[in-house]
């Protein structure tokens, strides 16, 4: 099974740049998208269907903002939109798909880059999402938790760790939270398979950052303990350019 997670930074803009054709050629069984920035009736589901995917979306209430979705070639047993946490469901931040004994959760974590108010929202979210995931893990043990976490975990995951030590997305308290996340029976699949490899998933649109590969790794595919033996390969598709992020691909031996 091939799963891709991708912050498309506006699915309509990505579609205008050939997203559907790329999806068809990706050979992915499932593509999880974040920051769709569109309502369902604004998305060309027909083009995605032609590419081979059924699509499920959970948009934000605010137009042109946030939102997540799942594109799948495999018929799901169950789709759940939202997390039951009202503040984050209003922003369209979570969608879940069950496939047999496996559960895939696609999250778009809040960003704190716009100022203190949103940073406070982000930290409150982190405090609440970990126990939420712990409860789900008790119910559904074979979990794959993908998405844009908006946090670079270690110095390997950011091009300028010293210069960004006081920047949202690499703050000590955010990184400490990821330490807790990755010691709670949930593992970073890319880092598990590639302990020392440096690859990024997001680049600033300023300063020619992508061309110089001055990026951050903030998009993850986390898996629970029972899924670890199934991991085959994890990589970043840096050559795919529909967004300021790139797709992150995970292949599993199912």
> What distances in angstroms separate CA 62 from CA 7, 10, 120, 169, 170, one per listed residue?
18, 14, 20, 23, 27
Burial of 123 (0-12, 13-18, 19+ CB in 10 A): middle
Question: Phi, psi (5° rounding) for residue 72?
Answer: -145, 140
- Among residues 59, 73, 183, which one has the least CA distance to residue 133? 183
Which residues, other chains included, contact 144 with Cβ-Cβ below 8 Å and sequence gap of 6+?
3, 102, 103, 104, 105, 221, 222, 223, 224, 227, 250
Angle at 200 between CA 35 and CA 34, to 5 degrees: 10
Question: How far apart are the C-alpha atoms of 173 and 51, rounded to whole Å?
Answer: 41
Distance of CA 13 to the CA centre of its chain: 18
| CB of 73 closer than 8 Å to CB of 45 | no
Catalytic residue among 29, 148, 157, 219: 148
At CA 235, angle to CA 214 and CA 253, rounded to 5? 165
- Residue 127 annotated in active site: no
Structure tokens belonging to residue 69? 């979705």
* Catalytic positions: 148
């Amino acid at each position: 099974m091939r799963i891709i997670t991708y912050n498309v930074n506006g699915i309509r803009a990505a579609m205008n740049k050939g997203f559907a054709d790329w999806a068809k050629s990706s050979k992915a069984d499932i593509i999880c998208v974040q920051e769709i920035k569109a309502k369902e009736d604004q998305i060309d589901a027909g083009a995605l269907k032609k590419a081979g995917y059924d699509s499920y979306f959970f948009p934000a209430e605010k137009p042109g903002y946030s939102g997540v979705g799942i594109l799948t070639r495999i018929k799901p047993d169950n789709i759940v939109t939202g997390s039951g946490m009202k503040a984050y469901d209003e922003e369209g931040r979570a969608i879940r798909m069950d496939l047999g004994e496996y559960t895939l959760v696609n999250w778009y974590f809040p960003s704190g880059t716009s100022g203190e108010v949103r940073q406070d929202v982000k930290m409150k979210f982190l405090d609440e999402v970990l126990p939420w995931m712990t409860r789900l893990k008790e119910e559904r043990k074979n979990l794959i938790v993908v998405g844009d976490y908006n946090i670079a975990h270690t110095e390997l995951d950011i091009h300028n760790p010293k210069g960004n030590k006081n920047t949202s997305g690499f703050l000590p308290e955010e990184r400490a939270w990821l330490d807790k996340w990755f010691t709670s029976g949930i593992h970073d699949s890319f880092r598990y398979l590639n302990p020392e490899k440096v690859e990024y998933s997001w680049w600033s649109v300023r300063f020619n950052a992508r061309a110089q590969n001055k990026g951050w790794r903030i998009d993850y595919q986390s898996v629970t303990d029972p899924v670890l033996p199934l991991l085959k390969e994890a990589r970043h598709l840096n050559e795919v350019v529909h967004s300021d992020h790139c797709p992150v691909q995970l292949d599993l031996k199912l």
